[in-house]
Amino acid sequence: MPTLTPELQRKCIDTIRFLAVDAVENANSGHPGLPMGAAPMAFVLWTRHLRFNPNDPRWAGRDRFILSAGHGSMLLYALLHLAGFKVSIDDLKRFRQLHSNTPGHPEFGDTDGVEATTGPLGQGVANAVGFALSQKMLAARLGEGALDTTVYSICSDGDLMEGVASEASSLAGHLGLGNLILLYDDNHVSLAGHTEITFTEDRLGRYAAYGWHTLRVEDGNDVEAIDRAIATARAVKDRPSIISVRTVLGYGAPTKANTHEAHGSPLGKDEVRRTKENLGWPLEPTFLVPDDVRAFWAGRVEELKKDYEAWQKRFAQWRSSNADKARVFDQLASRAVPGNLADELVKVVAAVKEADSTRKVASSVLQKAAELVPALVGGSADLDPSTLTYLKDKGDVGRGQYGGRNIHFGVREHGMGSIVNGFAYDGFFLPYSGTFLVFSDYMRPPIRISALSKLRSIFVFTHDSVLLGEDGPTHQPIEHLAALRAIPNIQLWRPGDPLEVAASWAAALERDDGPTVLVFTRQKLPPLQRATPGDIQKVLRGAYALVEPQLEAGEDPELCIVATGSELPVAQSALGLLDSRLAAKTRLVSMPCVERFLSWNGDAQRKLIPHDTKTKLVAVEAAGGLDWYRIIGDGLMVGIDRFGASAPEKAIADAFGLTPQKVAGRIQKWLQEGARTNTKR
């Protein structure tokens, strides 16, 4: 490993800068300014502090690095290339191109070494809080000597402007997450201009008020000051740290440094040439990595390899001396779910015979799930008494006390969702959150990112319709089910009885390729009338016939009604109010999970819900039903196309046409009119 002289150090830093500049210029797209200014702090972090292994990117003993300022992705890709991860020069040349592993913003799962999908500002900061809390909770279960990791994140002005970062940072300070270090790229420039036009608060003062340890480095090129600041922050164990590093956006560019033009656009060929001349960098070849720079990084990787091997030996010794805790580690690392989970959860609801809310039934199912799945942890946005998502006798997480399984997120829905994703990225827990369905509006960004990243996040929502009653239209969701179902790779469950509740939790915990949304009622639902005992395996497919008419061989039903959640018992009661001849030819389908039904092949779908036949199709759901065209085509949607009202549940049901009598009447009228229009109520 070459001696790191001042000249070699400058060359190493400029290599990072110009790999970013050349990649952005080659793609004619990207954000060169942040990598140019933040290269020194990134270099110091990666070569003096961060523990990693490019040959085992997910090893448990590594430190975590999250680039919250994901628009500066070329900073991360340059580091990954130099550090020996599977990011080649050719990959850098394909920056922002189709099917490359160097997309415009870092994407978890696409690129080795990328810990989180970032880019929507503030999300990465909140993810980092999730990582840090996950590691604290893991360490609490394993005891001293097992794991000691640090979570680092580089963030920008834009990250700190977004409210999600404030929510998560507030909670991190409250919980005293001393394993979290935030490096703030304080360059005073945002996309539209200098930050002085919008962002003049005392950022470090704000973080001090959150309970963070704060430091400032006045010169972003002063590598020794940066090194000292990181070392100081690492020594603070009882609170998170933020280091404000005063950098220059687009450092070295003669006319574009410290201007917003360098933030989100290529420098341009002339400016690139002048920048290279200004910093003494060869004009050719592009994507240059000098031999001594490559040798230095190879030496750093070799040093870390020795540390990695020593860690593996220590961990093996720890395992042999702590067999019980080693089993806990293995359980958590695999996020193991029993193969008979669904059958066990069904036992919880087998004796439920009386009317009850699905949120209350779900609470009982959740308690059993927590016994069977040690990795299950979570909490709510200050709503445990309403969402009923508290794990009984499982302990609370608090400052310096991380052994519990209940996380009190406070009224911070956006931050909660992103912290849950941080847990899921880290990969040791199965995390869930809880709030009212109407507040999924606050959580849509992290829910979307969880779907994009295929995370095992679970988002629990209660108070799922206008039928929650007196709280009124501000709290009564209308468009929310359709909005959530519109997100690719989401599976949303809206169960209508205890069996379906058990299935929904089993499905959520077993799913390993994306997030699950669970939606439960506040109001009590009457028991369903099942001709035969319910089959959870059928329910797990997402749709099944609850009522099957007596049909001749090859005959399709005359009417097929599809319902979910609280409208399932309403639809079943409405069936008994239809003309008796029609009722005898009607199939009632329960569809607790639309996405699972849509994954069936076409023949299977048409067998349950006939299309291109004389069968008339109806969907019943207490929500705006624009998404139901996928299921019923031009059939009848009995739903809601306006905001709710403040009134008792029964009055609401009557006013919005959600009683059995009014649902039956709506269907009869539609059929009498010739079933020509797809109208909503």
Q: Quote the distance between the C-alpha of residue 370 and its chain's center.
A: 21
Q: Smallest Cα–Cα separation from 152: which of 260, 257, 79, 85?
A: 79
Residue 515 carries which DSSP code?
-
Element (H, E) at 616: strand 616-620
Catalytic residue among 413, 479, 558, 595: 413
Cis peptide before 120 (omega within 30 of 0): no
Beta bridge partners of 190: 193
Q: How far apart are CA 546 and CA 557, in angstroms?
A: 14
Token reading at 319 = 């395992």
Q: How far apart are CA 557 and CA 570, in angstroms?
A: 20
Residue 565 and residue 462 in contact, taking contact as beta carbons nearer than 8 Å: no
Q: Edge-to-edge, what's the strand order for the sheet holding 180-186? A: 64-67, 151-155, 180-186, 241-246, 213-217
Residue 46 carries which DSSP code?
I
Q: How far apart are CA 156 and CA 142, in angstroms?
A: 34
Decide the pairing of beta strands 544-547 and 524-525: unpaired
Beta bridge partners of 519: 461
Q: How far apart are CA 59 and CA 79, in angstroms?
A: 18
Residue 425 and residue 400 in contact, taking contact as beta carbons nearer than 8 Å: no
- Helix residue spans in 176-268 (DSSP H): 203-210, 223-235
User: What are φ and ψ of residue 108, in 5° steps?
Assistant: -60, 130
Residue 334 and residue 328 in contact, taking contact as beta carbons nearer than 8 Å: no
The answer to whether 413 is a known catalytic residue is: yes
Catalytic residues, by residue number, are 413
